[in-house]
Amino acid sequence: MPGRAAKPGTEREGTQSIERALRVLRILASTNYASGVSFQDLQDASGLNRSTLYRIIGALRAEGFVERHPASGMFFLGMDFLALGSASINRFNLRELARPHLVRIAEQTEDTVFLSIRSGADSICVDRQEGTFPIKALTLNIGDRRPLGIGAGALALLAFMPCAEMEDMVARNARRFPANPAMIAESVLALVRRSREEGYAFNDGQVLKSMCAVGVPVRGLQHRQPLAALSIAAISERMRAPRRARLVAILEEEALALGAALVARGAQPLGGGERAEIPPLPDVNS
């Protein structure tokens, strides 16, 4: 017996519910894991009305994707969601493949090295290797999220994707950029333009004044959309031009090898979009 036809609007309503639930999960994922998020802050950030948000949180809690602290009433990502994220990262044994590269970079530079991937309009730090230099730039923890464009790894992921997709990501994150000092959409676009001209991303203290970082995309083929990003963070004095060029060369060598290993396992860019040639970014004033 054939199934019943969906009522008009039912399919769109279902899609809208999924989009709203994902919006809530991304807000929870991009905030402080230790303190959680209040219902009011979730409502303000999501733009959802109270009853809709209440229903969505109830459904996510029932499935184990969201948890609520019994005393504070704050909301957190549930363990089921975190398990899914771990499974996604391990699909191509990304951390296993990347670990020797991170270790080699840290040994050569003595600085802290990060591995980042894209998740929608965000960058996620999925691994970190500390160097031996006494002053450590621990600007990201494993699992931390930032809007694409904020920080060297996130900027490398953003700058080297196709123009239309890059511009869409900047537009989607425009309201979130001002949470980072002196960062607005126009300044992020300027950083993208500079990154493409120089061939690498440079965070010249935009996130933390005393810390700088460089990042490069990990790509399967030359001039293709990033599969991931490698970055190095250090105190500003260790990021001056002569040494910065050496750090970039080390990153590029390891990124090339890691990209080849990922492609051999069938990896595709995370976060959507076809792999396409990247044309020059037009001047924003033209």
Q: Is the pLDDT of residue 283 over 50?
A: no
Q: Is the pLDDT of residue 255 over 90?
A: yes
Whole-prediction pTM: 0.70
Share of the chain above pLDDT 90, in %: 39
Q: What is the pLDDT of residue 273?
A: 38
Q: What is the pLDDT of residues 191-206, one digit of tens each?
A: 999 999 999 999 987 7
In terms of residues, how long is the chain? 286
Residue 25 CA to residue 149 CA, distance in Å, equals 20
Crossing angle of helices 10-29 and 50-62, in 10° steps, is 80
Q: Is the pLDDT of residue 285 over 70?
A: no
Residue 147 CA to residue 169 CA, distance in Å, equals 9
Q: What is the pLDDT of residue 1?
A: 43
CB 79 within 8 A of CB 86: no
Q: Which pLDDT band, with edges at 50, 70 and 90, does 267 fall under?
A: low
DSSP string, 19-70: HHHHHHHHHHHTS-TTT-B-HHHHHHHH---HHHHHHHHHHHHHTTSEEE-T
* Residue 229: φ, ψ to 5°: -145, 145
Every domain of the chain with CATH number 3.30.450.40 lies at 88-264
Residue 130 CA to residue 114 CA, distance in Å, equals 9
Q: What is the pLDDT of residues 216-247, one digit of tens each?
A: 999 876 556 898 999 999 999 999 999 999 99
CATH of domain 88-264: 3.30.450.40
**Any idea which residue has 């769109």 for tokens?**
12
Every domain of the chain with CATH number 1.10.10.10 lies at 10-77
- Going by the DSSP 8-state scheme, the letter that residue 255 receives in this structure is H
C-alpha to C-alpha distances, 76 to 1, 66, 72, 117, 274, nearest whole angstrom? 43, 6, 11, 22, 33
**In terms of pLDDT, which residue wins out, 44 or 179?**
44
- Going by the DSSP 8-state scheme, the letter that residue 4 receives in this structure is P
Reading the block at residue 60, the tokens are 């996510």
Q: What is the pLDDT of residues 114-132, one digit of tens each?
A: 999 988 888 989 999 999 9
CATH of domain 10-77: 1.10.10.10
Instruction: Over range 97-118, report the average pLDDT.
Output: 95
